[in-house]
Amino acid sequence: MSQTEVYLNVKEITEVRTKKVQLKDVADLWCEDSHLANRLNALTIKTIREDKDWRYVESVLDIIRLISETAPGTQVNSVGKVDYIIDYHRPKRPSYAWEWLKTLFVCAVCFFGAAFAIMTFNNDVDVTKVFGEIYYVVTGQQSDGFTILEVSYSIGLAVGIMGFFNHFSKWKINTDPTPLEVEMRLYEDNISKTLIQNAGRKESGIDVT
């Protein structure tokens, strides 16, 4: 009798808001037998008992064992992660005022931080003096500090920032991810890897913390 093959692709990190976590919440499963696939997708792989936001590091081996117990004779082929994270958040009403407040705060920090960085850079290299000398060489007149060079520099700086970040309002220049998106994904990947590595170290008794 031939075995039924099941292909399992577990995501590295999944955010859930229910205490009973099902297989379909953390993984994509494919099987030729659609009834078996639906049955396996509905399996409860973890029940969260603590009433707090927390990240749980789990192993795909536990999922494979559960599938084998539920459907004996099934061959499970894991094509995803070996360890994965369940990011549990307690269900709560969204606070739009708080979300907007945080967004405005981040925007203000980014705006004034970037403005301060640009001003300190301009002072370090003395852009005003450089523009004044260029203006004098080209026109033979002394710069009053507000010439075509300063205007072009200001416009070019704004256009360059929008081009570099590849994002203006809801419109994007192309389909490439923005630098902020890249950095956020790298940060999330590093967080996930650290959580998984820390869980393994604590279990083996080797932990720097």
Average pLDDT along the chain: 86
pLDDT tens digits for range 11-26? 999 999 999 999 999 9
Q: Last residue of some domain: 62, 88, 114?
A: 88
| Mean pLDDT (whole number) for 145-162 | 85
Chain length of the chain: 209
Q: Is residue 65 situated within a structural domain? A: yes
pLDDT digits (tens, 9 = 90+) for 70-95: 999 899 999 988 999 999 998 888 78
Q: Taking each helix axis as running N to C, give the angle between helix 60-70 and helix 34-41, from 0 to 180 degrees, rounded to the nearest 10.
A: 130
Structural domain span for residue 169: 96-203
Give the total number of structural domains in the chain: 2
Distances (CA, A) of 4 to 56, 65, 168: 30, 15, 50
Whole-number percent of the chain with pLDDT over 90: 41
Residue in 68, 9, 15, 16 with CA at minimum distance from that of residue 40: 68
CATH number of the domain that residue 21 is part of: 2.60.480.10
Structural tokens at position 85:
């994270």
* Contact yes or no for 134/148 (Cβ under 8 A): no
Predicted local distance difference test score (pLDDT) of residue 69:
92
Whether residue 60 is found in the same domain as residue 78 = yes
Q: Which residue has the higher pLDDT, 144 or 15?
A: 15
On whether residue 38 sits in a domain, the answer given is: yes
